[in-house]
Structure 1
Amino acid sequence: MTKTQRFTVLSALFIFHTTSLFANFDFNSNCLKAYKSIFELKLGNARAYISTEKKQHPNNAIIPLLENYVDYFTLLTSESKSDFDRLKGNKSARLDQISDDDKNSPYYLYAQAEINLQWALIRGRFGEYFNAAMEIKKANSLLQENRKKFPDFQLNFKGLGLINAVLGNLPDGALKTTLSTFGIKGNLQNGLDMFEKLADYLPKSSYDAFYDEVVFYYAYVLTDVAHSPLAYAKTMKYTKNIADTSLLKSYLQSYVCLKNAHNDEAIQILAKKPEGGIYQPFPYLDYLEGIAHLNKLDLNAGVYFNRFLQANKGVNWIKDANLHLAWIALLKGDKSAYNGYVNKAINNGYLYNDKDKQAKNEASAPAPPVDLLKTRLLFDGGYLIKALQILADKKTADYSSDKDRAEFNYRLGRIYDGLNKDDQALAAYQETINQGKGLKYYFAANAAMQMGKVYEGKKNVAKAREAFNTAISMKNHEYESSIESQAKAGLKRLGN
């Protein structure tokens, strides 16, 4: 039986369980095709299927949920503030549509929770943290209630898994503060467990149409929330079952490859990504392709960053793309072009995400030594031996500034760590802390956090705890919230 046939049988079972139980929440063939198109990023097709469904079954309460998915992925791919301001007013009308429908359906509370959760995730990208917190609170409440009413409705665990994971490892800030006042807390491991069970269960169940969405969120949580060492293996395992016609699959796989030093694989995936007018424009993929090529020290990477900047209508990655163009100029020895791109990194774009904040900080600082820049890029790509060779004849005294001396030891520590040379890594990390603990740069704090992970792997709980606490104790540096949240997660893993 095909996926479509199983889902149609599921819908029929729902509908005929009682005479009206699911009459207004009909995930029929049109809706299933729209949903599938959304998760392949064929949003134009999805809109067409939704339009057909509106004409054929105007009272189907699945329609507003599908329309919200379209808005969500429109904003996820465009990152456009004007699109956000234009579309966010749709939320209340859709919830109103659903609120009048069949309260005996498991989709009644679920659909409302999904709409709230999707808007919370989008608002976080545009700095609307209070509204995002309120929507997470609402979504959590709706899903908990739905779980009690329909304990066998597996889709509840998708939203609950996401809420648990994100809240369980949320860095200090406005969103965490607001949610804590509501008494809402998460548990990262519980969230990961929910996703793992769903990803394994769905393909063998009547809910298998929702598999791609579960994998989408699971990959995000593994990579960006949990910073899990298993992110690459698990994401590649579960995305294997997603159709190659899905642009979202290309995004998930290339992103996790880049974040986990599988650089050549990322380049191959992006080169083979599905293309054409049928797909939603996704300029961020050009940015990722630029990152991947520059990690190999391929100075033609500028083509991809410029393509991103030309096509991008969003608010994120502008400063960071210009910083990368500045680095290319620096590696080419073009000081004039370097200064031009540095000015753009400082003055163009916005400061919604950490990458752009960091790009502005780095652009405002003196130019990095070329050898440290090359080492950094090669390390990010997973080219550890090449990175180590660049620093082989260097020592701390070769660098004149405190920043560069701290970075030199930090880069050495990261390379040795990646090569599983624990003793050398720990020595370099300790030297980084000694050199950089009073500076505004992230090197010392992240060295302490990484040191904690090394000791954790060696089962030295006391030393691991000490290192994580050292990372937490450092304040007023770059990436402070992210590093602190990872260190706190480390302490939790140690039973603290």
Structure 2
Amino acid sequence: MIKSLRFAFLTSLLIFPSVLFANFDYNANCLKAYKSIFELKLGNARAYIATEKKQRPNNAIIPLLENYIDYFTIITSESKADFDRLKGNKSSRLDQISDDDKSSPYYLYAQAEINLQWALIHGRFGEFFNAAMEIKRANSLLQENSKKFPNFPLNAKGLGLVNAVLGNLPDGALKSTLATFGIKGNLQNGLNMFDKLAESLASSSYEPFYEEVVFYYTYVLTDVAHSPSAYAKMMKYTERIADTSLLKSYLQSYVSIKTGHNEEAIQILAKKPEGGVYQPFPYLDYLEGVAHLNKLDLNAATYFNRFLQTNKGVNYIRDANMHLGWIALLKGDKAGYTAYANKALNSGYLYHDKDKQAKNEAAGVAPAIDLLKARLLYDGGYLNKALQVLDDKKTADYTSDRDKTEFNYRLGRIYDDLGRDDQALTAYQATINQGKNLKYYFAANAALQMGKVYEKKKNTAKAKEAFNTAISMKNHEFENSIESQAKAGLKRLSN
């Protein structure tokens, strides 16, 4: 396929009297670097780029490739030190590109890509104004490039991402800043762009960019759209990616865990490619710990401890300690639980919702063992086992409002996924009645899930009522995410 892209490039040289894209040359060497980046072999990518710099120092694809390396360095390490060390590279790379061939479709595209990558990174570290400014610039560049080069397919990758993310953005600093610029998105339009691109790219001369499209499409399906087809589509589109790609292992395991395909996640992570050639990625140890604990395998502690020992990033530190606390609790070690809960309360950062939730949980009383087991088994997709844990229980068996609420919530989620809609709706309503004034996410998410059940049953009035109930609840965990999903539900129903 590299040959086919080179053939297309060489053909353009024969057609046009001048060398049209001379300074944006995605030649075989650059494509090898690009492929290495998306297998997370960043050292190999740096070597290919060094060779390209010697052979063609003016190739304007070089700063774009170098930015990809910075992007994945920060994404895999989640290190604030890496972020602070590398963020200064952005402006010099944009300067390099801005002096180059304005007649190339890569001219505006490359600048947009660099802005988008840094927008995602700045947002990750809570720098929402910077992220908003970069999204604004990227969107403007891509819109202009689409007018100049309407048949350049890679425009749809960035525009699909902008549309999807902005179309489902929760209320907050980033959304309000973008609103002042008049920038809005449309989630369904973004999904359609990605779907079309993923289907068509593999059989085109732009096939080398397929893996990047799948990377972003998977993120949008899973974390933005919360699509019920996320797992099936992810498996379909990642199938043709080489097993030598560590990014493939990440995508498949992450989505498998998020969608209750726990056994598949364990198998994928056990077979992931390893060795010094790959970028260190401690988060995969965290994922492996989650997958093993979801089936109540207490050896999961090995993976969480490894993550905490090797991790230099800012996310999942509190959450990993909370998981270690649960393992202690499941072993009957209450003192161990208290020690890890204190770490979850006091160690680490609060950028990520998972860490915010871990802090909240650590500040409260220890969870009831049966509710904890049901929660973990449900997350792993072991629905019948989760139901067995709660089968002989009733609300009155629990003393605290939190546990009463969680009991009904867990039942609702299990019944929902088993297709027992009427029982799910009853449990969800009990959750809302019991927990609507608590700081926990149970009641708000029960209302959201109730809306989805009614939407599936074509009961529009009840679905809207439930989604509005979810939106009306404030000051609880995961508020932004639940509210954005409820608003997306209302938008679907109004179409």
- TM-score category, normalised to shorter length: over 0.9
Contact kept? 1:15, 1:23, Cα under 8 Å: no
Q: Please name the residue that 2:3 is paired with.
A: 5
- Counterpart of 1:479, as a letter, is F
Residue 11 of structure 1: how far off its partner (Å): 2.2
- Counterpart of 1:51, as a letter, is A
Q: Please name the residue that 2:248 is paired with.
A: 249
> Equivalents in 2 of 1:385, 1:141: separation in Å?
50
- Counterpart of 1:291, as a letter, is V
Alignment map for 1:417-428 (pairs within 5 Å): 417-428=416-427
Alignment map for 1:42-441 (pairs within 5 Å): 42-441=41-440
Alignment deviations for residues 241-281 of structure 1 (CA, whole Å, 9 cap, x no partner): 10010000000000010000000000000000000000000
- Counterpart of 1:443, as a letter, is F
Give the ranges of 4+ consecutive aligned residues of structure 1 lying more than 6 Å apart after TM superposition. none
- Counterpart of 1:374, as a letter, is K
> Equivalents in 1 of 2:343, 2:12: separation in Å?
56
More moved, 14-23 vs 84-93: 14-23
> Equivalents in 2 of 1:109, 1:39: separation in Å?
22
Alignment deviations for residues 364-403 of structure 1 (CA, whole Å, 9 cap, x no partner): 1110100000000000000000000011110000000111
Q: Please name the residue that 1:40 is paired with.
A: 39
Residue 21 of structure 1: how far off its partner (Å): 1.5
Residue 7 of structure 1: how far off its partner (Å): 1.4
Q: CA RMSD in A?
A: 0.7
Residue 326 of structure 1: how far off its partner (Å): 0.4
> Equivalents in 1 of 2:302, 2:475: separation in Å?
36
> Equivalents in 1 of 2:75, 2:273: separation in Å?
18
> Equivalents in 1 of 2:119, 2:52: separation in Å?
27
In structure 2, the gaps of 5 or more residues are none
Residue 20 of structure 1: how far off its partner (Å): 2.8
Residue 4 of structure 1: how far off its partner (Å): 1.1
More moved, 334-343 vs 48-57: 334-343
SS at match of 2:438: coil
> Equivalents in 2 of 1:307, 1:389: separation in Å?
32
More moved, 305-314 vs 4-13: 4-13
Alignment deviations for residues 157-199 of structure 1 (CA, whole Å, 9 cap, x no partner): 0000000000000111111111111100000000000000000
Q: Percent identity?
A: 80
> Equivalents in 1 of 2:459, 2:201: separation in Å?
39
Alignment deviations for residues 100-142 of structure 1 (CA, whole Å, 9 cap, x no partner): 0000000000000000000000111111100000000000000
Count of aligned residue pairs for this structure pair: 494
Contact kept? 1:30, 1:53, Cα under 8 Å: yes
More moved, 52-61 vs 336-345: 336-345
TM-score, with normalisation over the residues of structure 1?
A: 0.99
> Equivalents in 2 of 1:123, 1:15: separation in Å?
39
In structure 1, the gaps of 5 or more residues are none
Alignment map for 1:18-29 (pairs within 5 Å): 18=16, 19-29=18-28
> Equivalents in 1 of 2:175, 2:132: separation in Å?
8
Structure 2 vs 1, CA of residues 15 and 79 (structure 1 numbering), >3 Å: closer, same or farther? farther
SS at match of 1:198: helix
Q: Please name the residue that 1:447 is paired with.
A: 446
Residue 16 of structure 1: how far off its partner (Å): 4.3
> Equivalents in 1 of 2:181, 2:156: separation in Å?
21
> Equivalents in 2 of 1:16, 1:154: separation in Å?
22
- Counterpart of 1:149, as a letter, is K
Alignment deviations for residues 285-319 of structure 1 (CA, whole Å, 9 cap, x no partner): 00000000000000000000000000101000100
> Equivalents in 2 of 1:232, 1:112: separation in Å?
32
